[in-house]
Amino acid sequence: METHERGFTLLEVLVAISIFAIISLVSTQLLRSIIKTESIVNLSNKSINDVGRALNVVYRDVSQLAPRNIRDEYGDISGALIVGQRGYSLELSRSGWNNPALHSRSELQRVAYKTTDGTLYRYFWLVLDRAEDSQPRMQRLLDGVKTFQVKAITQPGESTDIWPAFDREEVLPLGIEIILAVESVGEIRRTFVLPEAARSINKAQMVKEGEELEGNDGLDRYPVGQAE
């Protein structure tokens, strides 16, 4: 007996095409979602890594704080550590300035930090005691910065936005707190303890100054280690 193979009806073909179209659409959307998620994760990881590198730079400077006052471009004395003054969020003297080319210069360096248009910059000077035309070099550290705030920790649980307070000569604080808010990362807080050696030297200087002031009956008082 002769047999005839039955083909697909038009309705079956339309149903199959519809199912295939739906599967293709879902697969495409799923693929786009995976790619978008991967891009977001990669961007987030990059942002976190960038923040980590920036904070490491700040930590390196703070951990090598040197109790060395300087003269600014106007001839005024600036303390070894300044918070929230003179146009910078943080300014300090640090040791350990690498000198691979063996230039004739000090290993001490003056550095500062501030944000401009959402970017955190690190500034450094080639000399400690500046001339009128001394200009800092600038390093771009981090983009997308919403907040970069520095506080000086004076006592456990106590801090101030300004250091030294009221332009007084004071013993160095216990440490500093960094409050950093970055797009796609959020707010990060880090506390850096100042080197005990720097604080001890600074405290000894203040004691010596007080003794000299008492013994010299009214002579002008200048911190030991200041610019000459």
CATH architecture classification, 56-97+105-213: Roll (3.10)
Distance CA 110, CA 85 (A): 15
pLDDT single digits (tens) 133-143? 889 999 999 99
Asked whether residue 149 carries a pLDDT value surpassing 80, the answer given is yes
Per-residue model confidence as pLDDT tens digits over 91-140: 999 997 776 566 666 789 999 999 999 999 999 998 888 888 889 999 99
Say if residue 143 is exposed, middle or buried (CB neighbours under 10 Å; 0-12, 13-18, 19+): middle
Residues in CB range of 110: below 8 A, 6 or more apart: 70, 91, 92, 93, 94, 124, 125, 127, 128
Distances from the Cα of 21 to the Cαs of 1, 8, 33, 131, 199, in angstroms?
40, 18, 18, 74, 72
Q: Which residue has the tokens 């003056």?
A: 110
- Tell me how crowded residue 111 is: count the other CB atoms within 10 A of its CB: 24
199 touches 205 (CB < 8 A): no
Q: Per-domain residue ranges for the chain?
A: 56-97+105-213
- Model pTM above 0.85: no
